[in-house]
Amino acid sequence: MKVIITGGGGFLGSQLCQRLLERGALVGPSGDREAIREVVLLDAFFHRPATDARVRQVTGDISQRDAVMAAVGSAPGTSIFHLASMVSGECEERFDDALRVNLDGGRNVFEAARAAGGCPRVIFASSIACFGGEAMQDPNTDRTKLTPQTTYGMTKAICELMVNDYSRKGFLDGRTARLPTVIVRPGKPNAAASSWASGMFREPLNGETCRLPVRRTQCHPMTGYRTVIDSLIALHDVPADRFRDDRAIGLPAHRVTPQLAHAVLTELADERGLTLGPIVDAFDARIQKIVDNWPLAVEGSRAVALGLPQPPPLKRVVEQYLEDFGSQPRSGA
């Protein structure tokens, strides 16, 4: 089996690649587990070269159809995880680029899957930013109407519809994972309007100041990156006959506020002897306006019924980040 991961040089893409290599197999078109022979990572750039012989890094732009077609190829039994995307804050500032990368790029991926033949499985990473406006509920479910209020959410919603229709036509076997905000991302803040969600954990754990651009009472659906990776793989392996006409599956998530994050961090700091950096208010009206158009909570019962995992307790999500990426040493160490 050949696996393609768009956005394979990013955080989730690299984590997914590592997990797939550890597993060594996915469910193939036959319905049986098949060995993964090659993982193709397609991205605009890579931070470090691959060290596993099964991995091939391809530098390219998903908005360039020829690059996507070449990366996907025509090997039978191919599976595609489409993660590449411009993030929310960038999309609000760069409308034309958002259409080029997220919308045209998505169509390029779906067309490459169609051209490959054999109805390949395509897992598309969407977002709760598909929700918005007056149609939002508390919590939002897979039956909540999609009325996105950001360019980012609009492009994701359109790609969700394309996944449904390409699957209806038999061009591919598509499944969409509608992701909550994923925490805790290592490294520096990025241009996503939800970047604060990881920053309010990451920076204090590193002994640094977190500048919080939203209200401390702001509720937002969040889940851990390990759970997201496991969910993408589990969604890939669900038998095709378990889906009907809506292939967009919302993942379950915690309802998190900065106040709750601070309480969890304080408990962990007391247990581990850490000195936390402060969370200071740095209100940003532009960020708050975007976040105000996102759900306060989501309900993921369809995902759970299909066998996808629920996130562990929030404290455990943060502990997983510490296990994988560490923090400052214990005091006195």
Helix, strand or coil, per DSSP, at residue 176: strand
CB atoms < 10 A from the CB of 297, how many? 18
Q: Alpha helices of 73-222 — where are they, by DSSP H?
A: 88-93, 95-98, 105-116, 151-168, 195-205
CA distances to 29, 35, 149, 280 from 331, rounded to whole Å, are 53, 46, 45, 23
Helix, strand or coil, per DSSP, at residue 97: helix
Identify the helix (H) or strand (E) that includes residue 5.
strand 2-6
Q: What are phi and psi of 27, to 5 degrees?
A: -70, 125
Residue 250 CA neighbour count, 13 Å, CB half: 25
321 is catalytic: no
Q: Which of 152, 166, 225, 321 is catalytic?
A: 152
Q: What does DSSP say about strands 173-179 and 121-127: parallel, antiparallel, or unpaired?
A: parallel
Most distant CA atoms of the chain, gap in Å: 63
List, in order, residues 6 or more apart from 75 with CB less than 8 Å away.
2, 116
Q: Alpha helices of 10-87 — where are they, by DSSP H?
A: 11-23, 65-72
Which pair of structure tokens corresponds to residue 119?
């109805």
- CA–CA dist 40, 57 (Å, integer): 6
Q: Where in the sequence numbering do the catalytic residues fall? A: 152
